């Protein structure tokens, strides 16, 4: 309601700074073809830019295309149409092997289901990206230890995934995502499998990475109090970006709507989208 008056669906203008945005999507479409004539339009024209050092939270109804976009941004998938520049380089049509190298150097993933290699110790999981980057074993170990220290898990280095709690496993995953010093860290519902307290703790880790190390972070979440950690919030609906709140707009919202209790009032964000869907 008020959100709509404050900030309608919009696309942030090109960055004011002289350096290119880390992520630039221009009218990106993704269509899944299932069978002869069944098509699923997962993304229907996404245009967005993310600058270095941003902390973006993505919300939106189930099936609105959030994961699809994350996959494209993370170079796991190609857009059907449109252009995607990562760090100023067009990767929309890069071949598989090149995409793998880009994922290795520029992207860190954190998944809802942790996705650690089983029966492999925490530190070896963190070392994985470095293996494919061709880093020597000693340097690998050193950097993996460093990454585990950043997420406060240095004491559980030798533990296997099944000897770690969910929160600890996700910390390992974060350490693995940041060990290659990527341009962006992408987290698709990273707290979805964790209880609220653990989730908040984990968000603290992301926040520190963003604040202290200036890492660019994009998080998909369904929970408003997780989204609240973002300095920018994208609202997805039906394969499009419905709203794009920047930090200033979020401040206003927070004040006027007691955003500290967003858990209760967040419904209004969704209501906005619903209203627009209905129109």
Under the binding rule (CB under 6 A), the answer on residue 221 touching ligand ATP is: no
Nearer to another protein, 137 or 247 (CB): 137
Under the binding rule (CB under 8 A), the answer on residue 129 touching another protein is: yes
Interface pick for ligand ATP out of 42, 122, 215, 227 (rule CB under 6 A) = 42
Nearer to ligand ATP, 73 or 147 (CB): 73
Tell me the closest approach of the beta carbon of residue 70 to another protein, in angstroms.
10
Tell me the closest approach of the beta carbon of residue 112 to Mg ion, in angstroms.
8
Tell me the closest approach of the beta carbon of residue 229 to another protein, in angstroms.
23
Under the binding rule (CB under 8 A), the answer on residue 170 touching another protein is: no
Which residues from 260-279 bind ligand ATP, rule CB under 6 A? none
Closest CA to 127 of 108, 183, 135, 153: 135
Nearer to another protein, 38 or 97 (CB): 97
Nearer to ligand ATP, 147 or 233 (CB): 233
Stretch that binds Mg ion, among 27-35, 61-69, 229-237, 247-255 (CB under 5 A): 61-69
Phi, psi (deg, nearest 5) at residue 109: -105, 140
Under the binding rule (CB under 8 A), the answer on residue 1 touching another protein is: no
Under the binding rule (CB under 8 A), the answer on residue 94 touching another protein is: no
Tell me the closest approach of the beta carbon of residue 119 to ligand ATP, in angstroms.
28
Nearer to ligand ATP, 53 or 192 (CB): 192
Stretch that binds ligand ATP, among 64-72, 132-140, 169-177, 266-274 (CB under 6 A): 64-72
The pair of structure tokens assigned to 27 is 């009218």
The pair of structure tokens assigned to 177 is 């995502």
- Note the residues at the interface with ligand ATP (CB under 6 A): 32, 34, 40, 42, 60, 62-68
- Binding residues for Mg ion, rule: CB under 5 A, are 67
């Amino acid at each position: 309601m008020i959100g709509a008056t404050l900030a309608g669906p919009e696309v942030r203008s090109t960055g004011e700074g002289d350096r290119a945005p880390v992520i630039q999507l221009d009218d990106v479409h993704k269509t899944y073809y299932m069978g002869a004539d069944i098509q699923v339009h997962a993304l229907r024209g996404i245009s967005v830019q993310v600058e270095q050092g941003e902390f973006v939270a993505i919300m939106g109804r189930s099936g609105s295309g959030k994961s699809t976009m994350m996959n494209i941004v993370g170079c796991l998938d190609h857009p059907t149409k449109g252009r995607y520049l990562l760090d100023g380089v067009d990767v929309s049509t890069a071949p598989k092997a090149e995409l793998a190298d880009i994922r290795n150097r520029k992207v860190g993933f954190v998944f809802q289901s942790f996705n650690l290699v089983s029966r492999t110790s925490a530190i070896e999981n963190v070392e994985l990206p470095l293996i494919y980057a061709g880093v020597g074993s000693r340097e690998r170990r050193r950097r993996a230890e460093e990454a585990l220290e950043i997420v406060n898990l240095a004491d559980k280095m030798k533990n296997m995934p099944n000897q770690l709690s969910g929160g600890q496993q996700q910390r390992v995953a974060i350490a693995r995502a940041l060990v290659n010093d990527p341009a962006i860290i992408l987290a698709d519902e990273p707290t979805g499998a964790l209880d609220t307290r653990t989730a908040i703790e984990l968000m603290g880790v992301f926040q520190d990475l963003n604040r202290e190390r200036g890492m660019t972070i994009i998080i998909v979440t369904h929970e408003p109090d997780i989204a609240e950690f973002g300095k920018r919030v994208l609202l997805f609906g039906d394969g499009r970006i419905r709203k794009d709140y920047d930090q200033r707009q979020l401040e206003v919202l927070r004040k006027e709507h007691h955003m500290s209790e967003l858990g209760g009032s967040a419904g209004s964000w969704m209501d906005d989208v619903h209203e627009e869907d209905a129109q």
